[in-house]
Amino acid sequence: MDSQDLSAHATSERYERERRFHDERFAARAITVGEVIPDTVLRTAIELVGLDPAALGSDSEHLTLRLDDVYGFRLVSESPQWEIALGAYGKDPRETAAEARDRMERQVAAVRTLFAERVEDEIGWVDVRNPGKVYFRVKG
């Protein structure tokens, strides 16, 4: 692969990641040129969009990331179909970047444990906003 092919591949990978992120917050509707997305929100979105479904113990081929005012960041899988609420990042000014990464790692581990104990295809909704108390709802 030459440098032009590599550049095109990197651009298409970036486009694919960006296509899988949907900012559905009320504030996102009013963003104008020159405004800045908070670093913690941007950093979290980049990490989550790049998350390999296998890290969650999932058989999903890819994930979509949504950000809304109610549940914060949500990972969505089309097949098998489920959603995971991760909560907000960047709202607590006392939470350091290292603490946020640690929380995300605990959330990923909690989902991986859930999918190891339950059939993933039966799960419809998972709430790991508090990784110490995971709530889930089966489909049906």
Residue closest to 54 by CA, chosen among 127, 139, 111, 117: 111
- The predicted-structure confidence for 102-133, as pLDDT tens digits, reads as follows 999 999 999 999 999 999 999 999 999 999 99
pTM of the shown model: 0.79
How many C-beta atoms lie closer than 10 Å to residue 17's C-beta?
Answer: 15
- The predicted-structure confidence for 34-80, as pLDDT tens digits, reads as follows 767 778 888 898 899 899 999 999 999 999 998 888 999 999 999 99
**Measured distance CA(118)–CA(134) in Å, rounded:** 13
Beta bridge partners of 81: 78
Q: What angle do CA 25, 27, 29 make, to 5 degrees?
A: 85
User: Cis omega (within 30 of 0) on the bond before 38?
Assistant: no
